[in-house]
Amino acid sequence: MNNGSKIRALVRGPILAAALLLSACQPPAGEPPLAGAAIGGPFTLTDQNGRRVSDGQFAGQYRLIYFGYTYCPDVCPTTLQKLMSGFSKFSQAAPDRAAKVQPIFITVDPERDTPAVMKSYVSAFSPRLIGLTGTDAEVAKVAKAYAVYYKKQEAQGASGYLMDHSSAPMLFGPDGAPIALAPADEGPDAVARMLDQWVK
């Protein structure tokens, strides 16, 4: 046994053990982080032009989905700005792949977020961004399917009531299966890297 193989024999045990430990809490290398998660599903909503839209229309496209509301004073505009700026960077670097991604903003506040309100809001972030709203029941259904929590607050903010809501933009595949969270909180470059990693 030469020195090299001795060292390899010594380290093989611990490395294997470490790999097994990792595999218990992480998907296998190359697997999307959200592979197999029960997130997503069919929906029918209304877009910013007043047209009825269902998930089937996005078949074959990646979907970059974020739930929020246009009256949100801080989190939503900041998240959308970073998310769409990351998408824009990815579009410049890989226009063909970016063309296969549909960014979608879904409101959790259908009471105030009418199609007209959504239209002026989404167009401020990107011409590619679609804004979806619906009835209370439609929004409740899609939020539940996509594991999004939201609740109207009793307290009033400067521009009316506030909504509590979870804020985690996510990438879904051409088949609608969840792929990964979009790390908008880490900035546009992190979003662009995530898209580059998963959009084929």
Distances (CA, A) of 96 to 29, 170, 194: 26, 20, 16
Q: Identify the sign of the CA torsion 38, 134, 123, 150.
A: negative
Residues 29 and 37: their CA atoms lie apart, in Å, by 16
Nearest approach, Cβ of residue 147 and Ni ion (Å): 16
Binding flag, residue 68, Ni ion (CB under 5 A): yes
Residues 190 and 93: their CA atoms lie apart, in Å, by 14
Binding flag, residue 178, Ni ion (CB under 5 A): no
CB-based contacts of 174: which residues, under 8 Å, 6+ apart? 59, 60, 61, 62, 100
Binding flag, residue 108, Ni ion (CB under 5 A): no
Q: Which stretch binds Ni ion (CB under 5 A): 44-52, 75-83, 84-92, 113-121?
A: 75-83
Residues 172 and 60: their CA atoms lie apart, in Å, by 11
Q: Which of 34, 53, 65, 76 binds Ni ion (CB under 5 A)?
A: 76
Binding flag, residue 75, Ni ion (CB under 5 A): yes
Nearer to Ni ion, 34 or 76 (CB): 76
Type and span of the H or E element at 26: none
Question: How many of the chain's residues bind Ni ion (CB under 5 A)?
Answer: 4
Residues 165 and 53: their CA atoms lie apart, in Å, by 23
Of the candidates 127, 109, 133, 106, which has an alpha carbon nearest to the alpha carbon of residue 52?
133
Nearer to Ni ion, 23 or 153 (CB): 153
Q: Which of 34, 72, 80, 83 binds Ni ion (CB under 5 A)?
A: 72
Nearer to Ni ion, 68 or 173 (CB): 68
Q: Which stretch binds Ni ion (CB under 5 A): 62-70, 90-98, 112-120, 154-162?
A: 62-70
Binding flag, residue 169, Ni ion (CB under 5 A): no
Nearest approach, Cβ of residue 131 and Ni ion (Å): 14
Nearer to Ni ion, 44 or 114 (CB): 114
Positions that interact with Ni ion (CB under 5 A): 68, 72, 75-76
